[in-house]
Amino acid sequence: MVEVENLLFGHPDVAEVAVVGVPDARLGERACAFVVPRAGATITLADLTSHLIARGTAKTYLPERLEIVAALPRTPSGKIQKFRLREMLRGDAD
């Protein structure tokens, strides 16, 4: 998923991005992209998938869900807390 994150970070409307796996009964896991848009930008899942396809990303790696957030949760050292993003998807976040 790091490769997908790096490609998404190259999108002109993306300020920050993290991709996490979401459990799926049929496929095992699906990808969800959490995006902090650049100031004044609007971004859609279709924008992201078009960007990835144009860069040769296989369809199996495309995010199937997009969550727009104001900020990504981070540790004091600045690392993105992906477990907190998964909690947000499950509705466990405080």
**What's the rounded Cα separation, in Å, for the pair 26 and 84?**
24
What pLDDT sits at residue 4? Answer: 95
Stated pTM of the model? 0.90
Q: 21-53: per-residue pLDDT in tens?
A: 987 778 778 899 999 999 999 999 999 999 999
**What's the rounded Cα separation, in Å, for the pair 53 and 62?**
8
Residue 16 or residue 27, greater confidence = 16
> Which of the following CATH numbers is that of domain 2-90: 3.30.300.30, 2.30.140.10, 3.40.50.880, 1.10.3720.10?
3.30.300.30
What pLDDT sits at residue 30? Answer: 87
Looking only at Cα atoms, what is the longest distance across the chain? Answer: 38
Q: 72-91: per-residue pLDDT in tens?
A: 999 999 999 999 999 998 87
**What's the rounded Cα separation, in Å, for the pair 81 and 64?**
20
What pLDDT sits at residue 72? Answer: 97
